[in-house]
Amino acid sequence: MGVLTDYFRAADAASVVQALEQTDGESPVVGPERPVFDGVEAKGVDPAVVLAMLIAAIQQIPWRVDLVKETTVWPAFPAPGPDNLEDEDNPWVTGPWVSELHPLTRDTLAAVRDSEVPTIVARWVEAEELHGARVEDMQPLAEELILLARRARKASEQLYCWMSL
């Protein structure tokens, strides 16, 4: 089972929560209606590991667990105690989850020069978690994420990640 991940830009967490409440937590990037937010489908590119490895490749530093800082915005209520983590109706257990990415992640992506992308992606695909992905397959995704980050920065918006099992 893979993790579905979509990255998108929005003005603030309140607008994200409002959109998710109207769609029962469905992806604000993909769906039967037009997308709610400008975004990118990025199946399996979770923020803490795979996106952080892209950020590490950009910065030419080793990956570390705290490289991409996130703040959970959905579910919009506090996480339950450990006794309630087996409830199949609990969205904290089943998802979807949405987190706001720290502005440094947006700005790091947005600052990448187009000419640097092939070299960065070549470093990124060396990550064990990408399971032998090829530069030519991952470069379009990296370019989409970079362009999304540029649009977010230009509009003074934040980047968000929607994840679901």
Distance CA(16)–CA(100), nearest Å, equals 9
pLDDT tens, residue by residue, 59-101? 999 999 999 999 999 987 666 555 555 666 666 677 799 999 9
The pLDDT value given to residue 86: 63
93-140: pLDDT as tens digits = 777 999 999 999 999 999 999 999 999 999 999 988 888 889 999 999
User: For residue 143, what pLDDT is reported?
Assistant: 98
CATH of span 4-77+90-164: 3.40.1760
pLDDT in tens, 3-34: 899 999 999 999 999 999 888 888 888 866 66
Mind listing the pLDDT tens digit for each residue in 132-164? 889 999 999 999 999 999 999 999 999 999 999
Mean pLDDT value across residues 42-55: 95
- b/e per residue 89-124 (b: at least 16 CB within 10 A): eebeeebbbbbbbbbebbebbbebeeeebeebbeeb
Read off the DSSP letter of residue 38.
-
pLDDT at 32: 63
